[in-house]
């Protein structure tokens, strides 16, 4: 009964979040100074006023904002997210095609940042006050304050322009036909943007893991374990890892939203044809259906990440099961 109540409550939260995101996104797009018609035909277009009116009528740009939103919401309830002005395709198609690229990039960056940050945090805590600890802390603080676009340009300059180790951008080689592109080609083009995003996401989980492990190593039961003759490695494996897993899981799954925020800039810098670059293009063209569709999809994706984290809590810490999957 408690589990059913929790699932119903979680579903209600997700639906309310999606509705709020849709309304807020539509309001922001409506207040944008960018004219979607001008962005569609170009500022120097020679089309007649009659032709421009026909285009505006076709896309429904002449309708009042409230009427446009109600029409879009009604179509959405029937599974139609509308058509993108930017790509002249259904919004669902654009999201699906673009998300295929972004998903691999997000997962690669998420796993790399989580594993690297967790290990670096443990190393910093075990060497508290030493040179290694100071170097790791300084690096994390610098990375935390570095803008995504600046760090992406730096990585491109060093590893693509100066060293020539990686391509300048794109998800596949531009000189190959689609049927000739191999899996290695896709992985090779994804390495640099994935590493860039993972490095930017490493700092927070490293600092959280370090602080939590320091608190655990100063506790009484760790002192008792040392008195029993257990080595530092045994203490970390048997006692510390399970206790620092909770904050690590919290921070890592919370980084889903940060990844979605950073991926728009990263994909623009690396000319990567994912969901982030589609957001940038849609914003520059005031493409309301595409922006709202991506915002709604992103909200569901981030909410799903937090939901998975709540489930993993009960696995890592069985005491939470007594609360009936309390969120």
pLDDT computed for residue 325 by the predictor:
45
Give domain limits for the chain. 91-284
324 torsion bin: left (phi>0), alpha (psi -120 to 50), beta (else): left
Which 8-state DSSP code applies to residue 181? -
Instruction: For residue 197, give every residue at least 6 positions away whose Cβ sits within 8 Å of its Cβ, in sequence order, or none.
Output: 105, 106, 109, 113, 148, 259, 262, 263, 266
Q: What is the pLDDT of residue 327?
A: 44
User: What local confidence, expressed as pLDDT, does residue 324 receive?
Assistant: 46
- Structure tokens, 130: 């030493």
CA atoms of 179 and 167, how far apart (whole Å): 20
What is the spatial distance between Cα 306 and Cα 83, in angstroms, rounded to a whole number? Answer: 30
Q: What is the pLDDT along the chain (327 residues), one digit of tens a residue?
A: 666 777 778 788 888 888 888 888 888 887 777 777 777 777 777 677 777 777 777 777 777 778 888 888 888 888 888 888 888 888 888 888 888 888 888 888 888 888 888 888 888 888 888 888 889 888 888 888 888 778 888 888 888 888 888 877 766 666 666 667 777 777 888 888 888 888 888 888 888 888 888 888 877 777 777 777 777 777 777 777 777 877 777 777 777 777 777 777 777 788 788 887 788 888 888 788 888 888 888 888 878 777 777 776 666 655 555 444 444
pLDDT at 320: 55
**How many other C-beta atoms can be found within 10 angstroms of the C-beta atom of residue 234?**
14
Q: Kindly tell me the burial class for residue 312, based on how many C-beta atoms sit within 10 Å of its own C-beta (0-12, 13-18, 19 or more).
A: middle
pTM: 0.73
Cα 22 from chain centroid? 18
Alpha helices in 165-218 (DSSP H): 183-217
- Sign of torsion, CA 248 251 254 255? negative
- Confidence (pLDDT) at 326: 46
Q: Which residues contact 280 (CB under 8 A, 6 or more apart)?
A: 264, 267, 268
Taking domain 91-284, whether its CATH number is 1.10.10.10 is answered by: no
């Amino acid at each position: 009964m408690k589990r059913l109540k929790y699932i119903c409550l979680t579903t209600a939260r997700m639906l309310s979040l999606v509705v709020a995101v849709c309304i807020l996104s539509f309001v922001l797009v409506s207040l944008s100074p960018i004219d979607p018609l001008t962005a569609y035909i170009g500022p120097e277009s020679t089309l007649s006023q009659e032709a421009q009116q026909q285009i505006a009528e076709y896309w429904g740009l002449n309708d009042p904002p409230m009427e446009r939103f109600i029409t879009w919401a009604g179509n959405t309830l029937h599974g139609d997210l509308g058509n993108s002005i930017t790509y002249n395709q259904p919004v669902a198609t654009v999201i699906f095609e673009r998300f295929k690229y972004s998903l691999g990039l997000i997962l690669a960056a998420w796993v790399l940042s989580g594993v690297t940050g967790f290990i670096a945090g443990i190393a910093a805590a075990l060497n508290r006050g030493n040179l290694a600890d100071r170097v790791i802390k300084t690096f994390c603080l610098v990375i935390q304050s570095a803008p995504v676009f600046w760090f992406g340009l730096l990585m491109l300059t060093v590893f693509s322009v100066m060293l020539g180790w990686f391509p300048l951008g794109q998800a596949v080689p531009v000189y190959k036909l689609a049927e000739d592109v191999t899996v290695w080609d896709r992985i090779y083009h994804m390495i640099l943007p994935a590493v860039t995003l993972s490095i930017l996401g490493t700092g927070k989980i490293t600092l959280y893991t370090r602080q939590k492990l320091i608190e655990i190593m100063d506790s009484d039961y760790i002192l008792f374990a040392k008195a029993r003759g257990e080595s530092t490695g045994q203490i970390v494996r048997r006692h510390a890892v399970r206790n620092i897993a909770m904050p690590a899981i919290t921070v890592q799954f919370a980084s889903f939203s940060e990844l979605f925020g950073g991926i728009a800039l990263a994909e623009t810098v690396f000319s990567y044809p994912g969901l982030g670059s589609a957001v940038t293009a849609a914003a520059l063209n005031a493409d309301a259906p595409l922006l709202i569709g991506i915002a709604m999809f992103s909200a569901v994706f981030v909410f799903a990440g937090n939901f998975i984290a709540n489930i993993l809590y009960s696995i890592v810490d069985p005491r939470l099961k007594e609360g009936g999957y309390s969120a």
